[in-house]
Structure 1
């Protein structure tokens, strides 16, 4: 008995390399996109509940941002407003909802934040999925806060600036300069620019773009530099390291009080001025350390610009008089960029940003009354969150120095 022959099968069609690579990228990005959509829907739902319950998270956009928008569209920065403490480039973000005139200001602002969030996710997926996963899963730990602050668009500028340093230094520098005019800290993305021509290109482009944007704002608006007066008068916020020390001291008899001023809860009483000066001195010390590191660094891997940026922002965060919960948005974005490179030495530091974000959500908004009152629970939360940030900063400095010196 003869075995029937099977007809030969035609070979499987082969896609062109470009289409094949695109199809592979889409398959790999699909799980990230699905988790992004699910988590952002949850954040939107929390924001809706917050708005109905008026817990204060959404109120920042409704009252402050929209009020500033009303002044900015008439060509003037807020004058004598104690809550206006932002560089003049922030006006670009606060005016951006005008691009969606069919929505209310609040709806347009949240929509633009989601667009910026999606852009960060997209560029991180292209650079390395580990970083994208950290961003997509880490940001929701801050609950609805990221959707009601302007820090996600600023972080998008900083993330793109960092990732562009290797191939497009002019773009990287220009974005860093624009980001510095919006929130200052994105300028730290240029700290670790590779030595030589790349450094000159990145730093020069940053200075040029910042100067051009400042010139435009000085020409088109009144009082663009009034924020300097408001920023200089700020005290010690209860969420800073110095504020945590004073909260603990109050439980041991320190007679200071918590008051609401300059748009935040700050501490007043004996020794507050000394703590303020100490914070400024520590920030100056952080700057000196970065200069010494830059001068002494000898080994430059592709991840050094990313690691240096995260280290620099951590340094200025823990030495600040203010550590608002939205600062974790910046740190999550920079940590995600670090994880896009297999050469990073800050992987443990980047992962520490996840529990730090979760603790920040407990601090605000979930248990903020406990923190303001300085109860044992509130103090414990602050010690844990700020202690984690301090450990991450020391670890980042040690690892960056050891890897490059």
Structure 2
């Protein structure tokens, strides 16, 4: 009965989301969210001709993104509608994996994912990131199968680089070497195929990534955005590299520091993971580490586009599929931050661009929630893996962790 309820809620909310995309259900500023699929359609036409859009600084994706962008083009029909249907299929796969792989009969992950997409809004179905999240969720749910985890994590990294951070979930055992080897072989094989077929073009996305500035929604942009309200800062917002970036005093300096801050944050996650990944390692702990690593990277990034919350919603759902997770408080804060993101984009985006008080302070509140979630996440890792008694009285998992 509980399974039927969560599936029924998923179906109802997804139907409404799809109706919004095809303009059959009212939604404020619907046109705002349709800009990206228009860009995807443009790239798909270039890819269909046998080339990569390497001259476009907005192309910031690894080579395996090409077949994903091409798929709606090959399927035919209106590109945006077809892309939304492909994204809906990805959403369905994630939901099926979460309900199939639940621990102790828990549907916490499935419920979280269902309402997480509602919190982010229909934009979820017209963003490429939902497809990437499928590979990441599948990888973590098969963390106990070393080689399969490595292959799935590699496919995710070849779609968009961030799933490489999932390797932090691995235990300190020889068995983890099988995952690393599978990851390396998969990446090497795919990259070699594209290199032989396309030459240098598939790697041009790296140049665009390096050149990005400080996006207006990033955590580090918050003081500048607050300063815009009374002209204390003196800078402005311009469209470049596919997002709205800050230009003005001190921005470049902050943007230059952030990559080093990301390295420091990820080293902190790695240290905490190393301390807790000995004999007491379990799959719940591995998922906790992966969530913390991605959250730390997002919090210290130059860019925090709303679709990045899809990554955190997917990994958070996997964490909540385990009763022994320590990341529950951080995951719930991310859900709240996600809802504020939809309030900002697309619903009140003009107000944020105009430095209106309500929208600017909402951004500050959203980013504060992300920062608090990051701190809570790292604090939870410092406690190490949860033992059975600490897991709120949970009974042993239906699928035990594999021997190492």
Normalization by structure 1: what TM-score? 0.89
Distance 2:194 2:315 in 1: 28
Match of 1:212 among 189, 211, 230: 189
Alignment of 1:172-187 (within 5 A): 172-187=149-164
Match of 1:60 among 6, 31, 36: 36
Contact preservation (8 Å) 1:279, 1:319: yes
Aligned to 2:219: 241
Aligned to 2:401: none
Alignment of 1:109-124 (within 5 A): 109-124=83-98
The alpha carbon displacement at 1:108 in A equals 2.1
Aligned to 1:13: none
The alpha carbon displacement at 1:202 in A equals 1.2
Aligned to 2:127: 149
Aligned to 1:353: 334
Aligned to 1:91: 66
Distance 2:111 2:358 in 1: 31
Aligned to 1:302: 283
Name the CA shift for 1:52/1:358 in 2 (closer, same or farther; >3 Å).
closer
Are residue 81 (structure 1) and residue 62 (structure 2) matched? no
The alpha carbon displacement at 1:277 in A equals 1.5
Aligned to 1:188: 165
Are residue 45 (structure 1) and residue 26 (structure 2) matched? no
Name the CA shift for 1:33/1:268 in 2 (closer, same or farther; >3 Å).
same
Q: How many residues in Structure 1 have an aligned counterpart in Structure 2?
A: 376
Are residue 251 (structure 1) and residue 229 (structure 2) matched? yes
Name the CA shift for 1:107/1:251 in 2 (closer, same or farther; >3 Å).
closer
Contact preservation (8 Å) 2:143, 2:283: no
CA RMSD, aligned part only? 1.8
Distance 1:292 1:42 in 2: 44
Name the CA shift for 1:77/1:306 in 2 (closer, same or farther; >3 Å).
same
Distance 2:163 2:259 in 1: 19
Write the deviation string for residues 332-391 of structure 1: whole angstroms up to 9, x where unpaired.
111110011111111111222221110010111011112112221121111111100100
Matched residue of 2:313: which SS?
helix
Matched residue of 1:341: which SS?
coil
Normalization by structure 2: what TM-score? 0.89
Aligned to 1:270: 249
Write the deviation string for residues 200-231 of structure 1: whole angstroms up to 9, x where unpaired.
11111111111111112222225111111111
Name the CA shift for 1:52/1:278 in 2 (closer, same or farther; >3 Å).
closer
Contact preservation (8 Å) 2:20, 2:30: no
The alpha carbon displacement at 1:263 in A equals 1.2
Matched residue of 1:191: which SS?
helix
Match of 1:327 among 308, 316, 319: 308
Name the CA shift for 1:363/1:198 in 2 (closer, same or farther; >3 Å).
farther
Contact preservation (8 Å) 2:21, 2:81: no
Aligned to 2:111: 133
Match of 2:180 among 199, 203, 206: 203
Write the deviation string for residues 215-265 of structure 1: whole angstroms up to 9, x where unpaired.
122222251111111111111100001211211233351111111111111
Q: Which has the higher contact order (CA 8 A, sep 6+)?
A: 2
Contact preservation (8 Å) 2:273, 2:381: no
The alpha carbon displacement at 1:54 in A equals 6.0
Aligned to 1:11: none
Matched residue of 1:87: which SS?
coil
The alpha carbon displacement at 1:402 in A equals 1.4
Distance 1:317 1:194 in 2: 23
Matched residue of 1:55: which SS?
helix
The alpha carbon displacement at 1:51 in A equals 10
Distance 1:47 1:361 in 2: 15
Contact preservation (8 Å) 1:165, 1:202: no
Contact preservation (8 Å) 1:51, 1:59: no
Write the deviation string for residues 55-109 of structure 1: whole angstroms up to 9, x where unpaired.
2212211x210011111112211122121112222112112225524x3322221
The alpha carbon displacement at 1:115 in A equals 0.7
Distance 1:53 1:367 in 2: 8
Name the CA shift for 1:335/1:164 in 2 (closer, same or farther; >3 Å).
same
Greater C-alpha Rg: 1
Distance 2:27 2:183 in 1: 38
